Amino acid sequence: MIQGKIISYMDDITEVKYIRKKVFCDELLVPENIEFNDLEQDAMYVIVYDIEDNKKAVATGKINYNGTSCEIDKIAVLKEYRGLYYGDFTVKMLINKAFTAGVNDVYVICPITMKEFYHKIGFKIEEYYIQNNIQVCRMVIRADLVKKSCNGCKH
């Protein structure tokens, strides 16, 4: 079973930092001073737990609001829990948080190697470009285009 919760910088984000350090700093070799920056205090976070593994924190992500739209960032799943839909659950929680707050557009900037992951959730590609010597794409999901019920379901 999976459980997730939304927290802010004012809450204890120790588990968020632990997961991001393991994934981004230890695995991907991102320096800690780059991984953790001044934008942290303005973000909302999700922390996802594996209930069957003693409620272990296994995934995280954050969302930033700029006044009109939100951007999802720093989706991280511990290596041994990848492929089990924790990342998918994390992104969907962040999208839901934005849409229930009245935000219409949620963006993500991701390496092109991750575009299929976000496309399956419902994001559409807006543009490709190079960022820090990596080809990335900017993707968006819009509240008015999200399917609210299934086709053929009887209500």
Residue 25, in any domain of the structure: yes
Predicted confidence at residue 146, as pLDDT, reads 66
Note whether 47 and 60 are within 8 A (CB).
yes
Segment 108-120 mean pLDDT: 94
Query: Could you give the CA distance from residue 31 to residue 54 in angstroms, rounded to a whole number?
Result: 30
Segment 64-91 mean pLDDT: 93
Note whether 63 and 44 are within 8 A (CB).
yes
The string of pLDDT tens digits covering residues 25-57 is 999 898 888 888 766 778 899 999 998 878 999
Residue 145, in any domain of the structure: no
Predicted confidence at residue 79, as pLDDT, reads 96
Structural domain that includes position 88: 2-103
pLDDT at 108 over 50: yes
CA 41 distance to own-chain centroid: 16
Residue 155, in any domain of the structure: no
Note whether 83 and 68 are within 8 A (CB).
no
Residue 86, in any domain of the structure: yes
Q: Is 39 left (phi over 0), alpha (psi -120 to 50) or beta?
A: alpha
The three-class DSSP label of residue 139 is strand
pLDDT at 78 over 70: yes
Predicted confidence at residue 41, as pLDDT, reads 77
pLDDT at 153 over 60: no
Of residues 40 and 62, more confidence is placed in 62
Name the β-bridge partners of 128.
Answer: 137
Residue 92, in any domain of the structure: yes
Segment 130-152 mean pLDDT: 78
Predicted confidence at residue 154, as pLDDT, reads 45
How many other C-beta atoms lie within 10 A of the C-beta of residue 121?
Answer: 17
Q: How many domains does the chain divide into? A: 1
pLDDT band at 1 (very low <50, low <70, confident <90, very high): confident
CATH number for the domain harbouring residue 93: 3.40.630.30
